Structure 1
Amino acid sequence: MVTRSTIMDTNSFRSEHAEALDTDTRKLTDKRNKILGESYRLFYRNPVHLVRGEGQYLWDAFGTKYLDVYNNVASIGHCHPAVIDAVNAQMKMLNTHTRYLHEGILDYTEQLLTTFPQEINRAMYMCTGSEANDLAIRIARQYSGGTGIIVSQEAYHGTSDLTSGCSPALGTGQTLANTTRLVPAPDAYRVNTPDLGEWFAQQIQTQIDDMKVHGIKFAGFLADSIFSSDGVMPNPIGFLKKAVDVVHANGGIFIADEVQPGFGRTGDAFWGFARHGVVPDVVTTGKPMGNGIPVSGLFAKSDVLSAFSDQTPYFNTFGGNPVAMAAAQAVFKVIQEEQLQAHSKKVGTLLQAELTKLMNKYECVGDVRGAGLFIGFEIVKDRISKEPNKAFALDLIEELRNTHHVLTSVAGPYGNVLKLRPPFAFQEYDIDWLVGALDKSIAKLQG
């Protein structure tokens, strides 16, 4: 049986596509197949061979320029000079671990903690979001005395043993932990309810009750506050609050996975969770904080973290190293000085308005939703039935790549939501390229 992952296999190159490749691309894909592990995946039926990036643009080996509408890891833009200079300067002086004193980690932490609610006052650092979420789960279990973790139905939180056991988006080939419970995504487009917050809170309570029946004590709820892997579900603002109240009433903690919605991405707030008026117990971040340099963080209430840290020493060789901290501080400085949160809100609002015009023009565009520069563009067979149209969505991203040189991908359980999530370098003048490409591509595919 061939297993499929919604985040790895929905938009991917497979062996049946090989015959259509040009000679140079075929040589590279054949070499990958020969010497790399078979778990890897490439984007697109005709994989993109990238060689250079700058800001919101990428160039392939043939010199073709692409508009990047997907890679938020390079959050402030590919090859940003501020990050390059900061990393280069620190590499020339020192790079070691956190068992020696260094000002970099302290200066950065003091600055970043000012963006959090005052209850969140401790920091720890790792290299990846997977590591941050792994530690967060350990903390939740130590603090609560339980083991049960609740995540959304299409969540992705990492690749470690603990986090992959809480990441249903990895597909049927990855077994979920028997202490993991899933709740349906808070999908305002498809869930017919007058109060999405109340509905979602009840889903959480139902799974906590199920844990009790099976002798599992509830430890925490782990969620990406924009539910990106579920298909981008940001609204209505504030709907998450009742769910967090239920979590706390049942003795668990709320872990806000801010790898994707954090650092001003949503425009409305610096952190995605802040849009909902909630205070998490633990917050995790990932590589966008370093513009792609391997750095991640965990930020927590001191009493929650102490339940773990008073008992268990923690060490991550490269977590919080001076070079990673230099990159992170450069990113934070650029976000603040260039007012990129406000930029995300302004440009994202304009982009969403233009995308909504396409929804009004084409029956196959079922919904446009988002916050700042994080937008879901849902493809359906028709707006009355809302039946997902995965095949059309996949053809659409291929047409965008091949003809109009726009890079994006899909998300959600049906693989039919285009996840439009460009670097902050994306400008108002890039809207015409993206929306024009979508307009022409949809028209062409509809015949």
Structure 2
Amino acid sequence: MTADAFASFISDYWLTALAIFCLIGASAFFSGSETALTAASRSRMHTLETNGDPRAGVVGRLIDRRDRLIGALLIGNNLVNILASSLATSLLLGIFGDSGVAVATIAMTVLLVIFAEVLPKSWAISGPDRFALAVSKPVRIFVKIFGPLSSVVNWIVRKILGLFGVTLSAETSMLSAHEELRGAVDLLHREGSVIKADRDRLGGVLDLDELEVSDIMVHRTAMRMVHAEDSPEAVVRTILDSPHTRMPVWRGQTDNIIGVVHAKDLLRALADVGNDPARIDIAKIAQKPWFVPDTTNLKDQLNAFLRRKTHFAIVVDEYGEVEGLVTLEDILEEIVGEIADEHDIDMQGVRQEADGSVVVDGQVPIRDLNRALDWSLPDEEATTIAGLVIHESQIIPDERQAFTFHGKRFTVMKREKNRITRLRIKPLEDVVG
């Protein structure tokens, strides 16, 4: 080989090597951009765009066409990877002969995995929002150029998958907005970024659409009411002794609710008659009752409370029979947890035992127990813990009878007639231990 030929070979060698490393850099750009743009927070981008960052608007528009974006980036990534591998094979064949193919395969695999896949994707995932903003403008240009080709590729893919009964939609998310929010909150809680109380409150807001007033109402057997035919003195004493500011008034039979009396209205009426209870007509003081169906979901009921500027409603079934009552406070407690004030009566419904078991009153709602103990007992078929035991066992159990389901051991401690009034619940791992 002459000196000029050798110099030309060296020159071509370095040019080819430089081209290979430039292509690996381009591959790293495409890999990192794909990871960052798919992991970027849409809500964060919206906030930044609102605050005047134009790059965030570009990222948002790219994410809106995620299938077009990913398709274009994959096309670019594969083009540069294939070209880099071809150049490396050609170069190393000239140096090592036939064994150059094996050398090129090993070398390019190592280089691409480390520098074009793991490194850029790890960098991108460590700060996806920041990385996405940095690459947004060059990616937008690339997507504009290769977007039509990406759309064609995506169309072909959908047609092929359609032959196997798989339907893809670019516009429809697999998860609803509520499910995505709930999943994000649960993940942040597991990572320690969101405390349990905040997770429960956010979950309570998301659950309003899924719950009905029958799930949280005070059942008719637990309602505190006043009889319109009782003596005025007895009625006044009952209302003033109650921890509640509003009480239903019935006449004839308990299902016949004729009004709802507010403690403030009663005090005003007493002041008007010189504090003489005998001169009080409770039926005239009571406000007209508001009846709502037991199937009303909590979101609609909350909006109705706010719209009507009232806090109290009587719940009825499809036949118009009184099922219970629901208040604005009941709905708010589904979001923020138990609300107690100085007039509330502390009714012990859950007691933790030294052996790890929990003694629970039968009427304790399953949702409240799950929230308090971070359990996940199902509440689709029953509202209270006693109802869950009856539903699962398919019988009215006797005292000291025990059942095992949903990872817990349930023992009936007390039963009154057909009502389970007290249960002991112990996680199975504690039972085994």
TM over 0.5: no
Larger helix percent? 2
- Taking structure 2 as the reference length, the TM-score comes to 0.23
Query: Structure with the greater relative contact order (CA < 8 A, sep ≥ 6): 1 or 2?
Result: 1
In terms of Rg, which structure is larger? 2
- Taking structure 1 as the reference length, the TM-score comes to 0.23
